[in-house]
A and B are shown apart, each in its own frame.
Chain A
Amino acid sequence: QLQLQESGPGLVKPSETLSLTCTVSGGSITSSIYYWVWIRQPPGKGLESIGSIYYSGSTYYNPSLKSRVTISVDTSKNHFSLKLRSVTAADTAVYYCARATDYGGNPIDYWGQGTLVTVSS
């Protein structure tokens, strides 16, 4: 059974960089029929796609966040990571990592449990 687990600081200061890692277990991150995504949910709001990455390193970012986001993959550790720079209180959210399929409508079929990141001094 595939599992994804987010890890990283739960509190980040304004203007600093939010860094999270998603460790994938029970499956390989190098499978060519999947890609890997980050999604967030601010308190009381809906889901927002942050970006995605293939194991090859190809990335796609939400245009509204593109200038501040970097997603990377480390196939040797079977994990992928998110960096969001110059954070503000508006970046406070539950951050999810997930797997999407590269076929059949490209749905997100496995999700991590999510991790709350609060931006505050």
Chain B
Amino acid sequence: DIQMTQSPSSLSASVGDRVIITCRASQSISSYLNWYQHKPGKAPELLIYDASSLQSGVPSRFSGSGSGTDFTLTISSLQPEDFATYYCQQSYSTPGSFGQGTKLEIK
């Protein structure tokens, strides 16, 4: 099994801040890494696929980078609607496994 580890588990930040969330895979997954945003009571939404490709309709303040085992999700300037939980997911092996999530809260 491929284990995914996110850090931090939670994060307090203010509107306008730059935020970086990291995700590490237990083995190389090339660029088979996706990021999702999840708000309570709603379905998760795809933000970034293939480590760095922005899903259609997602604001450009979201970006992803990395390959192999280490990946990052960056939000360049936090907006009020960005406070949510973020998950990375490896899709190198099926079914893809998720990180434990990073809860982004308002400071």
Contact = CB atoms under 8 A, between A and B. Distances in A.
Interface of A: 35, 37, 46-52, 60-63, 96, 100, 104-109, 111-114
B46 A109 contact: yes
A115 to B, nearest CB: 11
Interface string B2-42: 00000000000000000000000000000111101010001
A46 B88 CA distance: 11
Given A62-B97, A108-B46, A109-B46, 14 more contacts: A37-B95, A47-B89, A49-B98, A60-B94, A60-B95, A62-B95, A100-B91, A104-B49, A104-B50, A106-B94, A107-B46, A107-B50, A111-B43, A111-B45
Contacts of B87: 46-47
B1 interface: yes
Interface residues of B, number: 28
A51 B96 CA distance: 8
Contacts of B94: 35, 52, 60, 106
Given A47-B87, A52-B95, A63-B1, A105 B101 contact: no
B91 A106 contact: yes
Which has the most chain A C-beta neighbours within 10 Å: B45, B55, B94, B101? B94
A106 B95 CA distance: 10
B38 A105 contact: no
A107 B34 contact: yes
A105 B89 CA distance: 10
B95 A46 contact: no
B39 to A, nearest CB: 12
A106 B100 contact: no
Contacts of A37: 95
Contacts of A105: 31-34, 49-51, 53, 91
